[in-house]
Amino acid sequence: TQLLEQSPQFLSIQEGENLTVYCNSSSVFSSLQWYRQEPGEGPVLLVTVVTGGEVKKLKRLTFQFGDARKDSSLHITAAQPGDTGLYLCAGGLGTYKYIFGTGTRLKVLA
């Protein structure tokens, strides 16, 4: 069974602080996606990384795919209350199948 573990599970920080969320597996993935999910809604895609070592920036969010394509990180700079949510990573297994991580629940306090 392929597993994608995220850490930390929960994170509560003050507005303006920086944070990093990790997504780790022993499996190699064709791509790695990050989603954010708000309460009562479905996940929304933030980014897809496909090349080992790739780094993508989305405003204050920086995503990195590990060189061996087994792990990824999400770094948020100067977190804001609007960043609050459940962050999910998803590893691509070929063309159309994905395995989702266990999730990181982030709360940013004003």
Partner 1 sequence: NAGVTQTPKFRILKIGQSMTLQCTQDMNHNYMYWYRQDPGMGLKLIYYSVGAGITDKGEVPNGYNVSRSTTEDFPLRLELAAPSQTSVYFCASSYGAVYGTDTQYFGPGTRLTVL
Q: Give the residue, chosen from 8, 20, 26, 45, that forms a contact with partner 1 under the rule CB under 8 A.
A: 45
Binding of partner 1 by 22 (CB under 8 A)? no
Query: In the complex with partner 1, which residue's Cβ is closer, 8 or 16?
Result: 8
Other beta carbons less than 10 A from residue 19's beta carbon: 16
Residue with tokens 């061996």: 68
Compute how many residues bind partner 1; rule: CB under 8 A. Answer: 32
Report the distance separating Cα 24 and Cα 62, nearest Å.
17
- According to DSSP, the residues that pair with 98 across neighbouring strands are 92
Looking only at residues 62 through 101 of this chain, which bind partner 1 when binding is defined by CB under 8 A?
A: 88, 90-101
Q: In the complex, what is the shortest distance from the CB of residue 42 to partner 1, in angstroms, rounded to a whole number?
A: 3
